[in-house]
Structure 1
Amino acid sequence: MLDPRLRSDPHQSRGRLHDEDDRGPRGPRDAFQRDRDRIIHSVAFRRLRHKTQVFVAPDGDHYRVRLTHSLEVAQIGRAMARTLGLNEDLTEALCLAHDLGHPPFGHAGEDALEAAVAHAGGFDHNGHSLRILTLLECPYPGHDGLNLSWETLEGLAKHNGPVSAPGWALAKVDVDHGLELSSHASLEAQLAAIADDIAYDNHDVDDGLRAGILDLQALLEVPIVARHWRAIEARHPGLDPDRKRAALVRDMIGTMVGDVLAETRARITASGVGNVDEVRAAGRTLVGFSPAMAAEERALKKYLYANLYDSDPLQPIRRGAKNVVTGLAQVLIERPDLLPAGWVRGEGETAHLRGMTDYIAGMTDPFAIARHEQWVGPVDLEAKF
């Protein structure tokens, strides 16, 4: 385990923006446990079960969606935090919340929404995650947002590293919360970021093979895949292909996790950091892959972009998904009266566009399709695989 001073301590938290009345029944939970629980109980978290991960409107129930992906990220992140002696609850909260800001249809929807409101500051799913948590979720009587701890908000803002040019949504949150965007975040936030990479690298391989879009023989040209596949064949000759695929995904996750743990310990030792403030001031990411594993992981990502995310079978569906979001934005720009009253953000074009962005980004895939069919016209997103 790491030096315990490197572990984020909920009892040393910088606190919440709003003081809270604890006279009600709260239970024996610390600040980070409450943050995690607030995220799990949020409407935005529930909506993730109907939001695209990779496949839009998949023909089958076994493919990942944003919700299952977030749960898998949390499992990987929490396991690594436990091994390193870091705060498991903060890590889990960050993993569970990292994709809350995604609009319908994943990155296809995000690209369409960004283009539709580019002249009003654009759209960024990470900034929107913070906007949801600090403004749009309103379950409490005394304030907007979930009133999460500073450490959770900071970790979400900077889990991918310092932010030199925040978009408008993140910049607004920073004004209220002082998230110190130019520094690195906690080790827990850095763990959440790499747990995300590990999860989608491997689970997208699983889903791509299941869908028949990825070809196993071609995939075996990727070094990390070939190495693990040969090892599985050596351990289990004649194993059923489906079980072999499951073993491949499981083994690659295990190898990546083990590499991160060893590399992180080495980086922390070399850096000489001794507490959480020194982690933030270290000037570099301390959680990561070794150089050799980073090269293998980049090669896997390159293959997945060329053969899965940008593959021919997915392009018509993604174009259709973009058309849905673009159509919704256009009709709401032309017919501002269609925007429900609760989403009106004030007077003027920018206020309307940002209210519209909040409304569309909060939609699930099925809700976006239904609104498009009501206001614009028919939608064809039938899976082609």
Structure 2
Amino acid sequence: MDLNSIGNTYQNGKDILKVLSEMKSWQAGLLAAGVIAFTGANTYLIIKEDSKIDKSVYISEWQRAAQGDLKETLSKPGVAIPQSEYPVYFSEEDGTFSKFLVKPGDKVTPGTPLYEYESVNLDRDRNRIESEIEQLTNQIDSVQNHISSLNNYLSALEAEQAYTSTDAEKEEKDLSVSIHDTEKEILLQELEADLLEDERDKYEEQLDYVNEQTGVMSYLSEIEGQIVSISEDLDNPVLMIRSEAAAVKGKLDEKELQKVVQGQETAVESGTLKKDFTGRVASVQTMPETPLSTETQASYPFTVELDQAQEKLENLHPGMQLNVEITTGEAKDAVVAPSKSIMKQNDKEYVIVLNSVGKTEKREVQEGLKVKGSSEVVSGLEQQEPLMLHPKPAAEISREFFTPFTMDKFYPGALKHMTNREKLKYFLLGMFNR
């Protein structure tokens, strides 16, 4: 019995005295002696450390699991850097140079002809391009077959999960993890297929152009940007193209390096321009830019390529200070639980669920993304299930529980509507209920 219960018992005792006062003296004395003896015996059994009496568990704090989105971000300072420049070369082995098809200031896109030359072997160029297209097509087919196999495997896992017994918690947890990993792999393979198809499209454009020529070839741009210089003397590089996409540079420490990868979404803020930009991590260098030393922490450069059109970036000049927020993890429509409801024991994670039959239930779960006191629960828990906060490994399991008394459900006039017999009944229930 805890102090709160004793305090409540004391308050309720005032009403019991009224009941006793209405009885005859010998009846009241007998009842009082019985109550005292029964109370003393039960109090001893409850407090006694090695007592086998089944005690209730007091849950001081609890909260329900919910459904929601979690996003883990990393905020880093950055600086605007000059747009990347790409050199274009001409080799006399390809043929005889004819003329430039662009001039400084011109904007180009992938597939734009940059210069013409008379090919010494048109068939050789055609065969080379066709070989590239065939190789890319085979790669795409291989990736598509792999995606098809993964989808079949995913369907089998989902079907197996649908027929898995709810009592088989470990099996259901393993299935949930496998489904999650398979869905992730499918997305990566679909991205790989898209990139390969884009590359094949470029070669098909080159092949179309070659087939239209009669010995005169054009070198096609591979990027989108602006021509910044031309070498009329044909000194390599004969052309320089500046990428339209502006970039941001920042630094990571060794812990942050483990979280940031190419392709992650970013939000970039300029305090000077009062503008926000979006982009993606373009590169992460795994070699530090600082000298290797045991005395200083290494820093690893990363770059972000911005998505905005060039006209929106005109006032973003090299050297401007920016804040970069990198999305390092994201979980959508996830089961979310308070991080303080999850305990670790023997390299496993558990929660104490307050189940529908009024007992505590220790349940193994798998914790995923953790953000600001909230945790994604990948398996083992459903939304809206109530959880004990701050559980301990030695928490009582499969015991009846009770929660704090709430004043909003109590009003002073409640006792006035009870008979003396009801008051005595509830007093005894409060005293001896396990």
Structure 1 length normalisation: TM-score?
0.21
Higher relative contact order (CA 8 A, sep 6+): 2
Structure 1 or 2, whichever has the larger Rg, is: 2
Greater helix percent: which structure? Answer: 1
